[in-house]
């Protein structure tokens, strides 16, 4: 691992920005009839928010737990919650979510 000095850390920390991490979990209606079409529209909305620069990183989780996905939004927690309330999966009770403020470095990305 790279060696990072205290001075380097002090110089980099002020360059962070506030984002929101959203944890998507299975809701009470996760296994209702017709759920696949609701999840498809949820995904379409994610693609749209990603294209608009609102949802910077979207990570579906399929490990059999109640966690269904994680998203990093380029918004504060309040704005992120407002967007999530309009999600078709949330409206249908297929998903529930948590939003937490977080900080990161603008321009960070997942490796190709």
Q: For the chain, what percentages of helix, strand and coil (3-state, to nearest 5) are there?
A: 35, 30, 35
Q: Which residues contact 88 (CB under 8 A, 6 or more apart)?
A: 38, 41, 42, 45
Measured on CA atoms in the order 82, 69, 37, 30, is the torsion positive or negative?
negative
Write the pLDDT tens digit of every residue in 5-49: 999 999 999 999 999 999 999 999 999 999 999 999 999 999 999
pTM over the 0.75 mark: yes
Of the candidates 83, 34, 37, the one whose C-alpha atom is nearest the C-alpha of residue 58 is: 83
């Amino acid at each position: 691992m790279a060696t990072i000095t205290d001075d380097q850390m002090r110089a980099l920390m002020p360059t962070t920005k506030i984002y929101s991490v959203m944890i998507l979990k299975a809701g009470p209606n996760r296994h209702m009839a017709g759920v696949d079409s609701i999840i498809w529209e949820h995904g379409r909305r994610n693609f749209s928010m990603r294209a608009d620069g609102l949802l910077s990183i979207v990570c579906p989780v399929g490990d059999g737990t109640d966690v269904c996905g994680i998203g990093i939004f380029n918004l504060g927690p309040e704005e992120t919650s407002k967007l999530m309330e309009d999600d078709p999966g949330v409206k249908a009770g297929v998903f529930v979510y948590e939003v937490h403020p977080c900080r990161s470095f603008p321009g960070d990305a997942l490796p190709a």
